[in-house]
Amino acid sequence: MTKLLCFICLCVAVAIVDDQTAFAIPQSNYKTYTNARFKYSISYPADLLIPQGEAENGDGRVFKEKGNSSVEMRVYGSYNALNETLRNRYEKLAREWGKGVTYKVIRQDWFVVSAMVNGKIHYQKTILRRDTFKTFEIEYDAVRGSTYNDVTDRIAKSFKG
């Protein structure tokens, strides 16, 4: 009986460890990109996303996944030359992504909209500070959600400006 109990405990322990391993997120080496022109910063997983160089006008940067992948992250700033409200931008994006919108929230100085469009996850967080919009967006195939859903959450929390 004792051997059977030990065997059952061992099987349960192996199953728990195996389950945690199957759903583990790769431990990424996060680095921070800081934009001097628009005064924002964002962390990104350097072992997943490669910076593509800052835009010529200094407004931001594109990051792409290593290899032949459609994963792309963009971060950029822009002056509010048209005097748009944050709500206006929020509603425009929600209309653009239409029925694919899966999550949306707006606060006093930022909003987030996430959607599933044509098999891809789209996520955008926009901050409005004074007369400047600061935006982070990422797009990835829905099948990559096991890797990128939590990564996106971590990146979004790091986005400061």
For residue 4, CA distances in Å to 7, 9, 13, 52 come to: 5, 9, 14, 57
Extended beta strands in 46-159, E state: 49-54, 60-65, 72-79, 101-106, 110-117, 120-129, 132-141
Q: Could you tell me how far CA 46 lies from the centroid of its own chain?
A: 14
Q: Is residue 131 part of a domain?
A: yes
Number of domains in the chain: 1
Q: Is residue 12 part of a domain?
A: no
Query: Do 94 and 70 meet the contact criterion of CB atoms below 8 Å apart?
Result: no
Q: Is residue 21 part of a domain?
A: no
User: What pLDDT score does 22 carry?
Assistant: 36
Q: Of 127, 98, 99, nearest to 111 (Cα)?
A: 127
Q: Is residue 10 part of a domain?
A: no
- State which amino acid sits at residue 123: Y
Q: Is residue 132 part of a domain?
A: yes
Q: Is residue 108 part of a domain?
A: yes
User: What pLDDT score does 91 carry?
Assistant: 98
- State which amino acid sits at residue 48: L
Q: Is residue 35 part of a domain?
A: yes
Q: What is the mean pLDDT of each run of 10 residues along the chain (161 residues)?
A: 38 37 56 98 96 95 91 98 97 97 98 97 97 98 95 97 92
Residue 131, domain CATH: 3.40.1000.10
User: What pLDDT score does 14 carry?
Assistant: 36
Domain range for 123 is 29-158
Q: Is residue 126 part of a domain?
A: yes
User: What pLDDT score does 67 carry?
Assistant: 84
